[in-house]
Structure 1
Amino acid sequence: MGDGVDQPAAKAALLKAYPGLFTISGNVLTWTDGTTMVWNDDKARDADALLESPDIEDMFRYVYPRAAEGALVPAEDFDPGRIRNEPFFEKLYGASAAEVGKHIANVKWLPKLGEKTVQVTRIFGINDRLGKVSAALEAMPAELSRYGLKPGGGFVWRPIAGTDRLSVHSFGAAFDINVGFSDYWYNNRNKTNPKAHIPFKNRIPLEIVELFEKNGFIWGGRWYHYDTMHFEYRPELLLYKESG
């Protein structure tokens, strides 16, 4: 259907992001254990349905803008990366807290600045990638490294607030930086009119965002429904941007 997704580029990005785990032939994604998933079920979905029940192809509905594109105010319902096919991620990381927990590793976050240990998954080397972000961030001037202090943390098996959908934190593939500089759409919404425009707010410098992107993470500050302390490992969206 005409949803604007570049099909060959999206498939190539997904295969490159998670190599050796599955193949994609036509409209079927096949995992190495024989499990199959539909790539595109050809169903029309509005913004709410894209969040609640997307197919795999829907995850590429919006092109993620990198930090290099500068400060942007996301258009209404523009949420690149917020659309997630949950069975796909359960297959990548585990479908329960116990399964995910087998792969969780400790990462010393900003150790030279006296910060704490956080937990993320070892899968895809996410723990090492976060360690590289930490090392680069603590080498920055204090006016930038302070945005990494008092982090919100990594692995927690939980739903997204107010929904039944699993947070990417459940898979150990997300990390929240300094809570004190966080802006979250839900706190700034019009409480009497849910359909009213949500004003965009952000205090996280793009220099910080760029460090995460270099290591495969996207930023929740690129979403209309923004979560500016939030970063999650989504290399397929960064690769798709390069392909598009």
Structure 2
Amino acid sequence: MLAMKPRISIVFVVLLAAIPLSAAQGGDGVDQADAKAALLEAYPGLFTISGNTVTWSDGATMVWDDGKARTAEELIKSPDIEDMFHYVYPTASAGDLIPDVDFDPGRIRNEAFFKKLYGASAAAVGHHLTTVKWLPKLGKYPVRITSLFGVDARLSKISNALQEMPADMSRFGLKPGGGFNWRVIAGTDQLSVHSFGAAFDINVGYSDYWFWNKPDDKGRIPFKNRIPLSIVTLFERQGFIWGGRWYHYDTMHFEYRPELLLYKEKQG
């Protein structure tokens, strides 16, 4: 277990206000038009969405919304595609936040959808993997990452920007936890986004993870973070979301999810 270092900051609780439903919103509050537009814009040319059907360029089809109401736990275990937009991801511009209980924007992933994007096996994903030289001026940290959607080039841009920052900032990128790793998420049977080469962990020595902390006397997981939001901003500009915005937080973790950033932009 990593030693925890205290972090002094002003924090604000994420307030999830009830939003009146319109005809364009599903029963879970997802803005259907904006969610579909965000997904199409994030991965152009791969599929179309008509009504409740996602049709891939090879003719395969998937259900957009199966109409099932899900608990927070079920959203993680068995979401449909629409469920991925259940929570609106708050960007770094919102400042320091303590996520509300079970507020996990980005942890909801339809596995079948991601297998169509990146490959349904380690071998299939491997056809698109390449090596990014992470922080080449500061050390030798080769990272295996997918080249699909320019993820490798995007990570290189983040690396270039981070290594030019002062040492008290660039240190958060040293000794990264890695990129591609075909594996399930600990304690589950669900594939990690690392399996698709679309996730990256920065310096593990400065990371905090929800499972390492005992719940408080009210049963709530205490939030901890040491990753500066200026670094989070670098990743978000390239289409990555941050695990530090989750109630079940993983502050070293970034994954390529442009659809969630586009949806946030459309929602204002």
Q: Is the pair's TM-score, using the shorter chain for normalization, greater than 0.5?
A: yes
| Partner in structure 1 of residue 253 of structure 2 | 230
Gaps of 5+ in 2: 1-25
Give the Cα–Cα distance (whole angstroms) in 1 for the partners of residues 190 and 73 of structure 2: 12
Map of 1:8-87 to 2, 5 A cutoff?
8-87=33-112
Deviation at 1:116, TM superposition (A): 1.1
SS class of match (1:241): helix
Residue 174 (str. 1) matches residue 202 (str. 2): no
Residue 144 (str. 1) matches residue 203 (str. 2): no
* 1:119 and 1:154 in contact (8 A); partners too: yes
| Partner in structure 2 of residue 208 of structure 1 | 231
TM-score, structure 2 length as denominator? 0.89
Q: Kindly provide the CA deviation profile for residues 150-175 of structure 1, in whole angstroms up to 9, marking residues without a partner as x.
A: 10000000000010000000000000
* 2:243 and 2:254 in contact (8 A); partners too: yes
* 2:215 and 2:222 in contact (8 A); partners too: no
* 1:115 and 1:150 in contact (8 A); partners too: no
Deviation at 1:114, TM superposition (A): 1.3
Q: Percent identity?
A: 73
Map of 1:117-136 to 2, 5 A cutoff?
117-136=142-161
RMSD between superposed Cα atoms in Å: 1.2
* 2:134 and 2:140 in contact (8 A); partners too: yes
SS class of match (1:111): coil
* 1:14 and 1:236 in contact (8 A); partners too: yes
Q: How many residues align?
A: 242
Aligned pair partner of 1:197 in 220, 226, 238:
220
Give the Cα–Cα distance (whole angstroms) in 1 for the partners of residues 141 and 29 of structure 2: 43
| Deviation >6 Å, runs of 4+ | none
Deviation at 1:189, TM superposition (A): 3.2
Q: Kindly provide the CA deviation profile for residues 106-127 of structure 1, in whole angstroms up to 9, marking residues without a partner as x.
A: 0000000013101100000100
Matched to 1:215, the amino acid is Q
* 1:27 and 1:38 in contact (8 A); partners too: yes
SS class of match (2:97): coil
Matched to 1:214, the amino acid is R
Compare the two structures and name the one with the higher helix fraction: 1
Matched to 1:206, the amino acid is L
SS class of match (2:195): helix
Gaps of 5+ in 1: none
Deviation at 1:190, TM superposition (A): 3.4
Matched to 1:226, the amino acid is Y
